[in-house]
Amino acid sequence: MTEHPDIPYLREAIVFLVAAGLVVPLMRKAGISAALGFLFVGLVIGPFGIGRLVGETPVLELMVFADIEGVRRFAELGVIFLLFTIGLELSGSQLWGMRGLVFGFGSAQVLISALVIGGIAYAFGNTLVASAILGLCLALSSTALVMQLLTETRRLSTPTGRASFAVLLLQDLAVVPILFFVGIAGAKVEGSLGLAAMQAIGEAALVIGAIFLIGRIIVRPILRFVGGTGSREVFMAAVILLILITAALTAMAGLSMALGAFLAGLLFAGTEYRHQIASDIEPFKGLLLGLFFISVGMSLDILAVWAEIEWVILAALGLLGIKAGILFVLARLYRLPMDVAAETAILMSQGGEFAFVVIAASLSLSLLDPGIAQFMLLVVIVTMFLTPLLASISYQLGERLRRRAAGNDLPDNMAGDLHPVIIGGFGRVGKMLAQLLEEQRVPYIAVDSDSDLVARERAKGSPVLFGDASQADLLRHIGIEHAAAFATTMDTPKSAEHVIKTIHDTWPHVTIIARARDMDHARKLQASGAKSAVPETVEASLELCEQLLNGIGFPKDASRAIIDDKRTWHSETIERE
């Protein structure tokens, strides 16, 4: 990579930021996902894109990434953070509630697809190991694309969204053993390969066990300590440090850094800091994954396979057909309705981003022929480019089948529970709200930025998470779009106004109840989008007045009626103004 005398890699950084800040957003407006946008940018600015024209037009050198290996070194961090977020998003209750679909439907899809695709690869003359690798990596779908499309079209909470998520969850879990298999297959060992594999598995188990044992002891106290500083930057620095240390430990043990990041995510997933971490890590993951996709695009030499472009198209269509057929049959065997089975099968039929990771690892260990690797990478990219079209087709087909057979639902084990109320702030008012909800058996999730308070309340069994409830990304991770209501009890007026406006603009269907300081503040909160705002000074004054009337001899019923009339008047005044 070209270096500036003062700032290393300045030109490359500028080209990447232009791609991330200008080119990719333009593609998003055209309906192309960010991942595919970065892939396309990599194809264009790589040495096999406009890099071929540098000799004729030297000025193009300013827009070319020539050093692929230099880019890959940075791009590996994108994969590390992606595996971390996958681990972070897993939870025991989530896995248990969908265990049949995750471990049954998902496992069957990966294994059967890998066997069929691997068998075809072997029939075309690939070695047994290469065929197994191709079968396993092509059996995986694109988590990034499918989840993004489901979220954008508000289909994530639908039966199709839940079924797709269950399969993607298992596929994400399968990445780690697949990478481990590649490492074992490429290891240059003396003696029995089986003995070496057993030894490697034993060492890996010891390392993983040690990380979990030590991590469970130290992670929560460290996060509580840095969270208590009140500095978002310090908290994020500590999280990144823990991720990289865990990744480095697994690398030192001969395992992948991505596996270490995945383990770190699992450790953090069991803490009250999970959602704040997910919110803060998102920009890092997004940019670094963008760099990863650019590096993949840069690695592709389309001219090298242009003579076989017909085979590329046929292989892409074949991959889509094979995976869709297997998914549909398995979905029906697992008693999913016809419309859900068809929609899920088409939506999940593409290749995924982890094929790039597995193929790159296999190439580095000389397990795949470079020509075959280039060919299969191009096949995967073609299927990924077709994913938005596949999503549209799957939805239209699903709607047609639903109209034919109205009333079909997912099995009972996928039915959703009562949606919780989200409480922003867990001070005295937040605790009072929580107590009332508990008495009425209404589920709730509370968010507070005081790490000591969160630790104390969680020790009592209260569902309180660490984080800043004014951050939209954090609320999205908690599930604000499905919340029964949002109640803010924040002390800071500006923060309360900001979060209410954000929720009202982004999720207008969510009911917002707010605590206000006074009448003027209540009017501002309702103007921002709160359904109702209760001024604490007014309520305190009314309560004091009621006690005063009782104390000077008014009957209790009369005192209560007077105060209720006054309370109604205040409420109507706020709404009128």
Order across the sheet with 485-488: list the strands. Answer: 464-466, 444-448, 421-424, 485-488, 512-516, 532-535
pLDDT of residue 354 exceeding 80? yes
CA-nearest of 359, 379, 381 to 36 is 381
Q: Please, which residues bridge with residue 444 across strands?
A: 421
Residue-range domains of the chain with CATH:
10-66 (no CATH), 69-404 (1.20.1530.20), 421-576 (3.40.50.720)
* Confidence tier at 100 by pLDDT (50, 70, 90): confident
**DSSP letter at 382?**
H
User: What pLDDT does residue 224 have?
Assistant: 84
pLDDT of residue 92 exceeding 90? no
Angle, vertex CA 58, rays to CA 52 and CA 61, nearest 5: 70
| Overall pTM surpassing 0.75 (yes/no) | no
Report which of residues 294 and 187 the model is more confident about: 294
End-to-end CA distance of the chain: 62
User: What pLDDT does residue 192 have?
Assistant: 54
Predicted confidence (pLDDT) per residue in 214-255, tens digit: 877 888 888 888 888 778 788 888 888 888 888 888 777 766
User: What pLDDT does residue 256 have?
Assistant: 67
Predicted confidence (pLDDT) per residue in 318-346, tens digit: 999 999 999 999 999 988 889 889 999 99
What is the Cα–Cα distance from 390 to 235, expressed in whole angstroms?
41
Over range 131-136, report the average pLDDT.
92
Contact 373, 362 (CB under 8 A): yes
User: What pLDDT does residue 323 have?
Assistant: 95
Overall residue count recorded for the chain in this entry: 577
The residue assigned the tokens 């106290």 is 221
User: What pLDDT does residue 191 have?
Assistant: 52
Angle, vertex CA 83, rays to CA 140 and CA 139, nearest 5: 5
pLDDT of residue 407 exceeding 50? no
Q: Hey, what are 467's tokens?
A: 């984080």
CB atoms within 10 A of CB 58: 9
What is the Cα–Cα distance from 234 to 85, expressed in whole angstroms?
19
* 3-state SS track over 282-308: HHHHHHHHHHHHHHHHHHCCHHHHHHH
Over range 366-389, report the average pLDDT.
85
pLDDT of residue 573 exceeding 70? no
The residue assigned the tokens 């075809």 is 120
Strand 444-448, strand 464-466: pairing: parallel
Highest mean pLDDT among 117-121, 161-165, 496-500, 518-522: 117-121
What is the Cα–Cα distance from 118 to 376, expressed in whole angstroms?
13
User: What pLDDT does residue 325 have?
Assistant: 95
What H or E segment, with its residue span, contains residue 564? Answer: helix 556-576
What is the Cα–Cα distance from 239 to 287, expressed in whole angstroms?
17
Taking phi over 0 as left and psi of -120 to 50 as alpha, with beta for the rest, 91 belongs to beta
**DSSP letter at 178?**
H
The residue assigned the tokens 């990144």 is 240
Q: What is the mean pLDDT of the chain?
A: 77
What is the Cα–Cα distance from 278 to 86, expressed in whole angstroms?
10
pLDDT of residue 406 exceeding 70? no
Contact 118, 134 (CB under 8 A): yes
pLDDT of residue 197 exceeding 60? no
What is the Cα–Cα distance from 179 to 173, expressed in whole angstroms?
11
User: What pLDDT does residue 416 have?
Assistant: 42
515: helix, coil or strand? strand
- At 25, the amino acid letter reads P
pLDDT of residue 435 exceeding 90? no
What is the Cα–Cα distance from 559 to 544, expressed in whole angstroms?
11
Highest mean pLDDT among 337-346, 448-457, 526-535: 337-346
**Residue 50 to residues 1, 2, 15, 54, 568, Cα–Cα distance (Å):** 16, 17, 13, 7, 70
Q: Which of 50-59, 184-193, 530-539 has the lowest mean pLDDT?
A: 184-193
pLDDT of residue 410 exceeding 50? no
Over range 4-17, report the average pLDDT.
65
Over range 90-102, report the average pLDDT.
68
User: What pLDDT does residue 551 have?
Assistant: 62
Over range 417-431, report the average pLDDT.
79
